[in-house]
Structure 1
């Protein structure tokens, strides 16, 4: 048995597992013993709210294109404005949901990692979700206006 005096070498750091998920951040020596406390670095995780915001924003853009298609196709028969309005409501709800979720995700990302908590990443994804949501809602409103003008003429 090897005895290390209190001023001896620092304890050895255990090797990380094969996947590399555990990386030692620092090793603190436990006073009066030959042992140390290993504090691991935690890899930042992607924010689920940011991903949800981007998905809702893209869906808002796709539904707003349906608004444009239904508004243009059904303008002569009179049902285009009604169908476009229904899909515009859906696109608007998706767009507002994407914006709200993106703002909440940016707030979550900004406040994460403090006090030893998990750190989130994905601010760019959240910004893209907010942008896509705003664009989708805007296209829907403009498409309803265009289909109303086409239906009136």
Structure 2
């Protein structure tokens, strides 16, 4: 007895076709038989995925908030001596870079998610995550600036 072909349309001789194992991000939607041949056309459905930019932006935004609390602590703890404002300034720079990166990544991710709704393209999700990245980045930058200003004002 001969072996059936590994892929293809149903055949009365071999039975239903074997379907390729699903790969990451693609699911078999349907198989249309091509008239007059033993072949079929596989229609794939793209599974929505969460935007990596949105996730990276949220991680950077949370990092900016954590560094901003360090700025606040160093600014207040070292306000009596000269080192508080200097250390707070260094960490403010780090928090502002991380916060700015989080805001930029979040905005780019929201644009990527909005544009991915076209048919036949990979559909990205995660608009809430991208919005959280923008908010966390802005809050982290704001807290770090307030901490630096408090450290400078209390020093005098």
- TM-score scaled by length of structure 1: 0.82
Aligned residues: CA RMSD: 2.3
Question: Which residue, out of 105, 129, 152, partners 1:148?
Answer: 152
Indicate which of 41, 46, 49 corresponds to 2:45: 41
Q: 1:117 to 1:13 in 2, by over 3 A?
A: farther
Q: CA deviation at 1:77?
A: 1.0
The corresponding residue for 1:94 is 98
Q: Which blocks of at least 5 consecutive residues in structure 2 are unaligned?
A: 1-8, 11-15
Deviates more, 1:15-24 or 1:139-148: 15-24
Is the CA contact 1:53–1:99 (under 8 Å) kept in the aligned structure 2?
Answer: yes
Pairing 1:28–2:32 present:
yes
| Structure 1 runs (4+) greater than 2 angstroms displaced | 10-24, 26-29, 31-36, 113-117
The residue matched to 2:29 in structure 1 has which SS? strand
List runs of 5+ in structure 1 lacking aligned partners: 1-9
- Secondary structure in 2 matching 1:25: strand
Contact 2:25–2:48 (Cα < 8 Å) also in 1: no
Q: 1:144 & 1:68 partners in 2: Cα distance? A: 7
What are the superposed Cα offsets for residues 114-145 of structure 1, whole Å, 9 maximum, x if unpaired? 35222222111111111100000010111111
Q: Secondary structure in 1 aligned to 2:73?
A: helix
| Alpha-carbon distance in structure 1 between the residues aligned to 2:24 and 2:101 | 37
**TM-score, normalised with respect to structure 2:** 0.80
